[in-house]
Structure 1
Amino acid sequence: MKKWTVRDVMTADVVAVPEDASYRTIVDVLADGRISAVPVVDPTGQVVGVVSEADLLYKVEFAGTAGGQRRIFPSRRRSPREKGAGRTARELMSTPVVTAGVDTSLPAAARLMTEKGVKRLPVVAPDGSLVGIVSRADVLKVHLRRDEELRRDVVDEVLRRTLWLEPFEVRVVVDGGVVTLDGHLDRRTLAELTVQLVGSVLGVVAVRDHLSYDLDDAELARSRWNRSHPFSATGPSA
């Protein structure tokens, strides 16, 4: 089956700013590009941080307040007030930056965004250089795939190439990303594996399982295990 990665959905024409970019320059970059954040790169092209609209708004929030001498601490997370006093990308950016590799799977990228609480991930090459950016909206693009495309993946990649099933053995209908499977297979484990693999196709919203089977080999396996382990309280999982 096709493994969808960040490379498939990322924006490759990514805008970045150097560490010494001014506050006004960053505002102009966001406005001109109609974007909500921009990566910050060092002279070697390595991503060192991200400046978002939220980082820039601190200057508006703390405008006119008595803050005393401006202090910047590059070795730790900066407070909102410190960011409000910042003048360059180096002083405004959020660090440490969370990145993804070009071959990171979409499920892994989605988990990373959720775990780290970020809306986007700069995408880096193996040498650490910036090659793109992927957002939550980009990851969700897989659910914009047409039903015909999803059905083709289910039939060709799952049924034929992975499970070696003929199309007449399992009928596949896709409507709004929901896949309905109808047919008769020889074993319960094969039917369950079919449902599992179809559900793993990116873009599939849900699977309706109408498959039947001849042999309940899962129950048979449990029965054999119990006969071999008569004093055990547990058996093999279904």
Structure 2
Amino acid sequence: MARIVGEVMTSDVVGARPETSFKDVVRLLDRHRISGLPVVDHDDKVVGVVSQTDLVRRQAAGSPADRARRSRRHPSGRLGRPRPGAVADTVTARDLMSTPAITVHPEQRIADAARVMERHGVERLPVVDEEDRLIGIATRRDLLRVFLRTDDEIGREVRDEVVDLTLGLPADSVTVSVRDGMVTLSGAVPHHGDIPTAIRMTYRVDGVVGVVNGLSCRADDPHAADGAHSSGAHHD
């Protein structure tokens, strides 16, 4: 069924300590060709995240001493310039990082992690264990790969996992059609409660972006009349 963060995260994580210098953070990003990294304390607990955006923003601002110098004008009227290398010499990851760090756990669903990433506008999520220690990193690219499944793959999983295993129905009793990740379910199910179950479990299949319900109850079910009015598009 739905895949979890632990299946797609990178376990070999490049991280920094709060005392790591500006220059060393830049070297780490460049050497490993990454755009950001977590900052962990000596217990491997995540205390923040540093991105290329943080570095550029700090480089533009300069160090506190540089900003003070720029506030004083030379007799010529020009602003003082920061000393070359001053930012790199004085700033550490503690000064650069964004806090608090937004983290996820390995057992969380990928779809839920993607929502967290979108809500907070971040490109990567440190993955932590039950003691909040860093065990991996999940990037936007890692999570999006799950949603690149073909319609055929999605339809096959809905038939196998939802219709067959969850509902226990013959394969030909429910028609599953998929277009661009939108799943349409049609056919008759024996019990009224099978309809919300089918919809809910279909949403849990990776790559599904929406479900259109065309299911109805069989005539011998006492709730058949209710089921006849439950069709339509459903969303989480």
TM-score (norm 2): 0.74
Paired residues of 2:218 and 2:224 also in contact (CA < 8 A): no
Checking the alignment, whether the CA contact within 8 Å between 1:189 and 1:218 is kept in structure 2 is no
Deviating runs (4+, > 6 A) in structure 1? none
- Residue 130 of structure 2 is aligned to residue 126 of structure 1: yes
CA distance in 2, matches of 1:132, 1:102: 8
1:38 aligns with 2:37: yes
Aligned partners of 2:102 and 2:226: how far apart in 1? 48
What secondary structure sits across from 1:20 in the alignment? Answer: coil
| Structure-to-structure mapping, 1:126-165, within 5 angstroms | 126-165=130-169
Q: 2:103 aligns with which of 96, 99, 109?
A: 99
3-state SS of the aligned residue for 2:67?
A: coil
What amino acid does structure 2 have at the position aligned with 1:35?
Answer: I
1:182 equivalent to 2:186? Answer yes
Number of paired residues?
206
Counterpart CA distance in 2 for 1:150 and 1:159 is: 13
The answer for the alignment partner of 2:55 in structure 1 is: 56
Identity rate, percent: 39
The CA RMSD measured in Å over matched residues stands at 2.8
* Residue pair 2:58, 2:96 contacting (<8 A) in 1 also: no
Cα distance change of structure 1 residues 199 and 22 upon mapping to structure 2, 3 Å threshold: same
Write the distance in 1 (CA, Å) between the matches of 2:187 and 2:225: 21
Q: Structure 1 stretch 157-166 or stretch 188-197: which is displaced more?
A: 188-197
CA deviation map 1:205-237 (0-9, x unaligned): 23344444444716469xxxxxxxxxxxxxxxx
For structure 1, list consecutive stretches of 5 or more residues without a partner in the other structure.
70-83, 222-238
Q: For structure 1, which segment, 58-67 or 150-159, has the greater mean C-alpha deviation from structure 2 after superposition?
A: 58-67
**SS of equivalent to 2:138:** strand
Shift of 1:58: 2.2
Which residue in the other structure is 2:75 paired with?
A: none
Question: d(CA) in 2 for partners of 1:195 and 1:217?
Answer: 17
Report the counterpart of residue 223 of structure 2 in structure 1. 217
